[in-house]
């Protein structure tokens, strides 16, 4: 294509369909491929949109890219509109068109009246009140289940997909990979479109049959949410895989990039340059810069509490220890090496046994002390009884002794009297010893 024709072209042809204003929009991708999509005006038929949000349609594949497949591409918006809008335009030019469903998870439902986003995306669904990462994942799962999608894709609002070559389309490469995956892996549950674990969760496919069984743990937040979820997916018999035969690239932004989408080579160079400058340890700084002071403090406390919960659940902060797999699940499947709450239950059992032993020892000590007190009381009672017995026996003995002495004295007196009367009688010469 010529220089002017290599610009991103948008040709609009207004039509009428079911009394609702529609536009057929043709996007010319960086490789020159034309991607058509049917776009509904944001201002048109608001009642129907409200009803759709309340009772989402079971099928919305007509006039959409890849009409023989039943799926959606979910993008969650929460922070930084400028970064999000660049990513959204890239999702559209990647070939997804009206397959894109935006989940407006912003604090103020910022996208409610945004005509640009409404024109680019197939749907914009507000959550009403801002959800945590795990909660919004479960919300997406509920939509997929309700609409009976075969599977769905979800990507970050700072993620950009780029085809492997100028004449390729990112969405085509993804869908060809999905064909191989579904033909070769009957138990696939999650497919990652990157083999780099730092990039694995930027864009992935989720199988709806899998999310009918499993959900994210809403007490685990952000950084450990996937660490908690992926091992449970594998333990349930589903596979977490790198998407097969996928040659495309997935990038993320931590700032609003100026991308020449009309030029594949220049776009790739800009993304590679930005990638080399991103510190993955601080890749969410751009989000945190939008927080108020109170929100930063709250998130810090919330994250610490979530980490404590994760540790209580798994007994480790090392994701790989849970089932011995790669931290972000880039190996197929396997049983859990650690059962949820196993460490806590073991610790609680040990603490319970320790408490019971301490209580038993305390009771034994109390019984021993009581026995010792009873022994001392018995000894004291015996001593007092003996003392009382001696005191009671003392006056009787003295009285007997006095009686004996009195008898002896009487006997002496009688002898003496007899001696006096007889002179030489029997009593003469006797020696009487009185007591």
Contact 69, 171 (CB under 8 A): no
Q: Which helix (H) or strand (E) holds 183?
A: helix 170-184
User: Given this model, what pLDDT does residue 206 score?
Assistant: 96
Would you state the pLDDT for residue 249? Answer: 87
DSSP annotation of 424 reads: S
Output the pLDDT for position 347.
Answer: 80
Quote the CA–CA distance of 79 and 85 in Å, as a whole number.
11
Instruction: Annotate 1-59 with three-state secondary structure.
Output: CCCHHHCCCEEEEEEEECCEEEEEEEEECCCCCEEEEEEECCCCCHHHHHHHHHCCCCC
Q: Is 186 a residue whose pLDDT tops 90?
A: yes
Q: How many helices, marked H, and strands, marked E, lie in the chain? A: 12, 12
Handedness of CA 217, 220, 221, 224 (dihedral sign): negative
| Nearest Cα residue to 319 out of 240, 210, 257 | 240
In terms of pLDDT, which residue wins out, 112 or 121?
Answer: 121
Distance CA 322, CA 226 (A): 12
Q: What is the DSSP string of 135-158?
A: HHHHHHHHHHHHHT-SEEEEE-TT
Reading the block at residue 231, the tokens are 């091992």
Percentage of the chain lying above the pLDDT 70 cut: 71
With a cut of 60, say whether residue 29 has pLDDT above it: no
Q: Which residues are bridge partners to 76 per DSSP?
A: 103
CA distance 257 to 82: 9
Q: Which residue has the higher pLDDT, 199 or 88?
A: 88
pLDDT value of residue 62: 55
Is the pLDDT score of 71 beyond 90?
yes
| Contact predicate 284/202, CB 8 Å | no
3-state secondary structure of 189: strand
In whole angstroms, give the CA distance from residue 25 to residue 42.
15
Mean pLDDT comparison of 255-269, 313-327, 380-394, highest-scoring range: 380-394
3-state helix, strand, coil in the chain (%, to 5): 50, 15, 35
Residue 13: both structure tokens together: 């042809």
In this prediction, residue 224 carries a pLDDT of 85
- Among residues 70, 36, 83, 13, the alpha carbon closest in space to that of 254 is found at 83
**What's the CA gap between 8 and 28, in Å, rounded?**
6
Phi, psi torsion values for 327, nearest 5 degrees: -45, -40
Closest CA to 152 of 219, 222, 75, 67: 75
Range among 283-292, 317-326, 347-356 with highest mean pLDDT value: 347-356
Task: Name which residue leads in pLDDT, 258 or 82.
Answer: 82
* E strand or H helix that includes residue 385: helix 342-422
In this prediction, residues 365-377 reach a mean pLDDT of: 89
């Amino acid at each position: 294509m010529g220089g002017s024709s290599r610009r991103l072209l948008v040709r609009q042809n207004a039509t009428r369909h079911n009394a609702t204003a529609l536009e057929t929009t043709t996007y010319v991708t960086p490789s020159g491929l034309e991607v058509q999509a049917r776009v509904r005006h944001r201002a048109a038929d608001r009642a129907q949109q409200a009803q759709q949000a309340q009772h989402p349609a079971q099928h919305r594949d007509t006039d959409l890219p890849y009409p023989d497949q039943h799926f959606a591409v979910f993008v969650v918006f929460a922070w930084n509109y400028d970064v999000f809008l660049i990513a959204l335009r890239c999702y559209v030019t990647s070939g997804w068109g009206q397959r894109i469903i935006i989940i407006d998870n912003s604090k103020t439902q910022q996208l409610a009246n945004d005509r640009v986003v409404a024109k680019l995306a197939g749907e914009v669904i507000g959550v009403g009140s801002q959800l945590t990462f795990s909660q919004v994942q479960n919300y997406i799962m509920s939509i997929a289940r309700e609409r009976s999608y075969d599977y769905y894709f979800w990507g970050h609002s700072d993620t950009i997909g780029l085809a492997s070559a100028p004449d390729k389309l990112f969405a085509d490469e993804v869908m060809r990979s999905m064909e191989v995956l579904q033909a070769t892996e009957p138990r696939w549950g999650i497919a990652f479109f990157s083999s780099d674990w730092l990039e694995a969760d930027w864009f992935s496919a989720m199988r709806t049959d899998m999310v009918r069984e499993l959900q994210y743990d809403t007490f685990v937040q952000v950084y450990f949410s996937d660490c908690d979820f992926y091992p449970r997916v594998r333990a349930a018999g589903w596979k977490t895989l790198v998407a097969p035969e996928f040659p495309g690239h997935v990038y993320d932004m931590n700032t609003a990039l100026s991308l020449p989408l009309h030029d594949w080579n220049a776009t790739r160079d800009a993304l590679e340059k930005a990638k080399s400058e991103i510190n993955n340890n601080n890749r969410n700084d751009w989000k945190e810069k939008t927080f108020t002071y109170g929100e930063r403090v709250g998130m810090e406390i919330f994250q610490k509490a979530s980490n404590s919960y994760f540790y209580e659940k798994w007994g480790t902060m090392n994701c790989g220890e849970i089932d011995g797999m790669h931290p972000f699940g880039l190996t197929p499947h396997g049983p859990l090496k650690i059962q949820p709450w196993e460490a806590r239950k073991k610790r609680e059992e040990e603490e319970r046994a320790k408490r019971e032993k301490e209580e038993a020892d305390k009771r034994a000590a109390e019984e021993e002390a009581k026995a010792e007190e009873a022994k001392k009381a018995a000894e004291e009672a015996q001593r007092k009884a003996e003392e009382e017995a001696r005191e009671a026996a003392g006056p009787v003995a003295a009285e007997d002794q006095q009686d004996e002495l009195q008898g002896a004295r009487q006997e002496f007196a009688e002898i003496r009297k007899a001696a006096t009367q007889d002179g030489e009688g029997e009593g003469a010469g006797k020696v009487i010893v009185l007591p």
